[in-house]
Amino acid sequence: MTLSYVPDDSLAHRLDPRSKLLVQAGFAAAAYAYTTPRGLGALTLFAVAWLALSGGGPRDLWAYRFALPVLALAPLVAGATLGAPWFRVERAATTGLASYRVLLILVVAAGYVRSTPVRESRAAIQRSVPGKPGQFLGVGVALVFRFLPLLKRDLLTAREAIRARGGDALPVRDRMRLVAVAGINRAFGRADRLGTALNARCFAWNPTLPRLALGPADYPALAVGAGLLAAAVVPLV
């Protein structure tokens, strides 16, 4: 499953993107401030509830499957040593908590992406950050959300093409090289076509964006986001 916007009538779909961005920022700050078993346990409940309020579930996390092995192996690599005692449990535990923290942030991000159209994300950023910097960030976010799924699909297509031509018999290093080269070539090709398309359509830095308005459900979300940010600041005071 590709992580992208899915039309729905969930609570998160009805929220203003600015309130959802505040919740994300507050959650990430709280996750870095409370990287303890108890803190991450509480944040786990929040992350699962947030994804459910977005109409999502475990299947939506399949898009992160390439990151999961890295998060799982990080504690083993951190705990390994070149000499006695050969493995330090405390290092592995610390890195394991950090990896789990990243996973929770990805869960919350999955809920945001699933419930927020790309144009609304761009509008939220451009109206929150004034001037050219906001317009630049808005355009960048919009392009990333639109083209990451395409680039991922290109890599999968290249892998399937190599497999169809008997590439499974090649060493893993050679297969990785072929897929990477094919993916980079397609990425550059898409970039060239994107530039031509933007010029042909008289690309504007300040297009007509969708109207954003806070509704009754946004105020509790804003309070939650502000509360998470405040909770993240408490340990620093």
* The predicted structure's pLDDT at residue 199: 65
Q: Which of 163, 144, 145, 165 is nearest to 155 (CA)?
A: 163
Matching residue, tokens 């083993």: 76
179 in Cβ contact with 155 (< 8 Å): yes
C-alpha 162: how far from its chain's center?
Answer: 29
Q: How far is CA 223 from CA 22, 48, 193, in A?
A: 9, 19, 43
* The predicted structure's pLDDT at residue 103: 92
| pTM of the predicted protein model | 0.73
Q: How far is CA 3 from CA 61, 108, 139, in A?
A: 8, 12, 19
* The predicted structure's pLDDT at residue 23: 93
Give the whole-angstrom CA distance, residue 120 versus residue 21.
Answer: 11
The per-residue DSSP string of 3-53 comes to --------HHHHS-HHHHHHHHHHHHHHHHH--SHHHHHHHHHHHHHHHHH
User: pLDDT tens, position by position, for the chain (237 residues)?
Assistant: 556 788 888 999 999 999 999 999 999 999 999 989 999 999 999 999 999 999 888 887 777 777 888 888 888 888 888 878 888 888 899 999 999 999 999 999 889 988 988 888 878 887 777 777 766 677 666 666 667 677 777 777 888 888 888 877 778 788 788 888 887 887 778 777 766 776 666 666 556 677 888 888 899 999 999 999 998 888 776
